[in-house]
Chains A and B, each alone.
Chain A
């Protein structure tokens, strides 16, 4: 069974704080790494698709980096806002096109 681990499991921050989440995955058989944002009672929504070692993607206050050689990706949120509260999922996609999701990091931003 392939292991995708996310840390921390949950995080409570004050509005305005910056946060960093980690996703660890196997460094072999890599095809892509996805980040998703999942709000309660909704379905996961794609944030980033990353395929190349050293990739950096940015969308507003959220950015992500990828290191395929050592098997990790970081998701950063700068100046967290209450509307950023959600679960952030990463998914490792293997060369065989199988998706392996981490269990997510639950973020709560306190106004």
Chain B
């Protein structure tokens, strides 16, 4: 157990809908990262927040948005869902270790768009 929690575990929804995925980082970790893992692709970095502020942006679609709240939990909002958005969505939180940033991944939310 990494200490990072994600809800829900599974989500099934229809095309055109909007969903919100939630992530709670490990206690004390200020950074949250969101990743998408599709069947035909590896892990794709979406976005990073640090202490409520957007820190880095990856391959995040305009239909997707995220935020980090004062209690440091984060939400990833996916709207106008398409079949291709079906994927496993991970969040990770990080801490500075001996060698630099160490990431701890949550269990993921599996999104199925039908």
Contact = CB atoms under 8 A, between A and B. Distances in A.
Nearest to A94: B56
B103 interface: yes
Nearest to B33: A99
Contact of A101 (B43, B48, B98): B43
Interface string A71-111: 00000000000000000010101001111111110000000
B99 interface: yes
A102 B99 contact: no
B99 A51 contact: yes
Nearest to A49: B99
B68 to A, nearest CB: 15
A interface, over-half SS: strand
B100 A44 contact: no
Interface of B: 2, 33, 35, 41-45, 48, 55-58, 90, 97-108
Interface of A: 32, 34, 42-46, 48-51, 55, 57, 89, 91, 93, 96-104
Given A45-B2, A98-B45, A98-B57, 17 more contacts: A32-B99, A32-B101, A34-B103, A43-B106, A44-B105, A49-B98, A49-B99, A49-B100, A49-B101, A51-B100, A57-B99, A89-B43, A97-B56, A99-B45, A101-B35, A101-B44, A101-B45
